[in-house]
């Protein structure tokens, strides 16, 4: 284990002591802090626990927080001291009901395209029934993440696919939803940071509107959309180092960069100049260096969101680094990034890589490693399903096998523990994890990964999933709901062009 990882890693579990058949709080030898007396609790096991099926409370050191776990605390056959995993009362994921890929004969990766299209229509019909763009719903947001702009993006994507463009008048629907989103845009505060908030703010609304206006040949509307989107360029260059954080993907500069890259990709002419892109990247790097220095972080670039040093894609380090790798610096051969910037970006990526555990996952935040409260999630927003895009981009740029091997480990984790009960969405749901395999398939062209992506599609109609999956707060939205699921299914129909929304590593 490397020094930085050892510095922050702290394992807190229950262990069965064979001398008295009691569970006791156990800490690993490399703890940096002592647990308080209140952290150590004992629970009887053996016959008494077997009869009563006792509840076990899992106390987190230094946090005074606990989660309630349910387990039959029976003594294992091997009475030697061993660490026992404490299962949550209800797992976050369903057991994988499918065999893994073996070969094309025994485990074919084909699928019925008409079935996929019918599934798309089922979801789209539900969206049109419950989310009419003209409805006067004060709770209806305009943003990409859970608002009308996200639904507009789904319809725009549908209009671009030869497999789905004839299923609905997709561009017409896209225009209706995006106009409603723009009407709601003034609900957002007029702070300068709101101008470049992409997934959860106005910038994303205007970016998607620009793409739709272009395809509909609405030139004046396109001009207005681009003007409103570009208003975020100046604001994003302002150095605003607040307690909330200004650099991550959902509301910060990295998200605005994602929008810039996407617009330049989908428009026939580049709309955001390389000079502007590099200037924004420079501000992100300055911000990361200053925060890392201030907090004495063990890596050159570090960021925070609302006081937490997140590592995942939604608010954290990996997506910020991904957007830096997407910059014009790394689109030349040789790489044109200044040596200091290249060094800090590469060292930060490699530090992040060292945090990958044996299963292939990543912690939610640096604080989890420092405190021992290691909450491992298998979501796009937090965990391996979001980290894979940084790893894939790093592999394509630096050509180092360690990134590909880390990708494979993460994909195996998602195959085993990624059938989430949180619903079908892309942020923390089944479709978002299914995108992992479409990414690996594009990268390696190995049929195993297409097979796994197909099985994620099949899970959507699995009776157990339909019975046990939770309904998201915004069940028809792009990131939490079925609009994102539709995007995944569209990409499954054309896996060679598949891309998670606004995170294309191949452009």
Binding residues for Zn(2+): 381, 427-428
* 324, 281 Cβ separation under 8 angstroms: yes
User: Within 13 A of 100's CA, how many CA atoms are on the CB side?
Assistant: 10
Q: How far apart are CA 19 and CA 22, in angstroms?
A: 8
DSSP letters along 273-312, please?
-HHHHHHHHHHHHHHHHHHHHHHT-SSS----BTTB-B-S
Annotated binding site: 381, 427-428
87: helix, coil or strand? coil
Per-residue 3-state assignment (H helix, E strand, C coil) for 456-502: HHHHCCCHHHHHHCCCCCCCCCCCCCHHHHHHHHHHHHCHHHCCCCC
Q: Which residue has the tokens 């910059």?
A: 327
Neighbours of 135 (CB within 10 A): 10
Q: Which of 371, 367, 369 is nearest to 39 (CA)?
A: 371
DSSP letters along 101-135, please?
P--TTTS-----HHHHHHHHHHHHHHHHHH--TT-
């Amino acid at each position: 284990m490397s020094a930085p990882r050892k510095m922050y890693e702290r394992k807190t579990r229950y262990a069965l002591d064979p001398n008295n058949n009691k569970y006791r709080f156990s800490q690993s030898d490399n703890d940096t802090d002592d647990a308080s007396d209140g952290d150590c609790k004992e629970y009887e096991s053996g016959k008494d626990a077997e009869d009563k099926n006792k509840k076990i409370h899992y106390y987190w050191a230094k946090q005074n927080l606990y989660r309630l776990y349910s387990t039959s605390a029976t003594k294992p056959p091997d009475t030697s001291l061993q660490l026992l995993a404490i299962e949550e009362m209800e797992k976050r994921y369903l057991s994988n009901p499918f065999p893994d890929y073996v070969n094309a004969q025994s485990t074919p990766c084909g699928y019925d395209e008409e079935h996929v299209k019918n599934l798309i229509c089922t979801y789209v019909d539900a969206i049109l029934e419950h989310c009419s763009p003209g409805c006067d719903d004060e709770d209806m947001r305009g943003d990409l993440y859970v608002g009308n702009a996200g639904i507009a993006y789904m319809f725009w994507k549908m209009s671009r696919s030869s497999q789905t463009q004839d299923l609905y008048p997709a561009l017409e629907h896209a225009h209706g939803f995006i106009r409603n989103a723009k009407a709601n845009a003034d609900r957002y505060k007029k702070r300068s940071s709101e101008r470049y908030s992409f997934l959860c703010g106005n910038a994303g609304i205007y970016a998607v509107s620009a793409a739709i206006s272009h395809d509909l040949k609405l030139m004046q509307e396109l001009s207005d959309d681009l003007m409103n989107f570009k208003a975020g360029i100046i604001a994003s260059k302002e150095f605003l180092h607040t307690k909330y954080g200004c650099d991550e993907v959902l509301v910060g500069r990295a998200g605005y960069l994602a929008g810039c890259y996407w617009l330049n990709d989908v428009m026939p002419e580049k709309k955001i100049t390389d000079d502007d892109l590099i200037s924004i990247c420079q501000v992100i790097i300055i911000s990361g260096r200053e925060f890392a220095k201030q907090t004495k972080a063990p890596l050159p670039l570090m960021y925070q969101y609302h006081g937490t040093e997140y590592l995942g894609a939604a608010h954290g380090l990996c997506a910020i680094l991904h957007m830096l790798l997407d910059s014009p610096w790394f689109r030349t051969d040789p790489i044109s990034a200044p040596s200091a910037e290249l060094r800090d970006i590469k060292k930060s990526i490699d530090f992040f890589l060292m945090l990958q555990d044996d299963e292939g996952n990543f912690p939610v935040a640096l604080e989890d490693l420092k405190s021992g409260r290691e909450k491992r999630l298998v979501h796009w927003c937090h965990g391996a399903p979001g980290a894979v895009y940084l790893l894939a981009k790093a592999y394509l740029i630096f050509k180092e096998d360690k990134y590909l091997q880390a990708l494979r480990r993460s994909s195996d984790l998602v195959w085993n523990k990624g059938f989430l009960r949180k619903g079908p969405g892309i942020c923390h749901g089944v479709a978002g994890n299914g995108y992992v395999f479409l990414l690996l398939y594009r990268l390696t062209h190995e049929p195993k990964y297409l097979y796994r992506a197909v099985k994620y599609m099949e899970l959507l109609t699995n009776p157990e999933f339909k019975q046990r999956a939770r309904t998201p707060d915004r069940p028809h939205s792009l990131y939490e709901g079925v609009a994102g699921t539709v995007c995944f299914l569209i990409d499954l129909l054309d896996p060679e062009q598949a891309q998670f929304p606004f995170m294309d590593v191949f452009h």
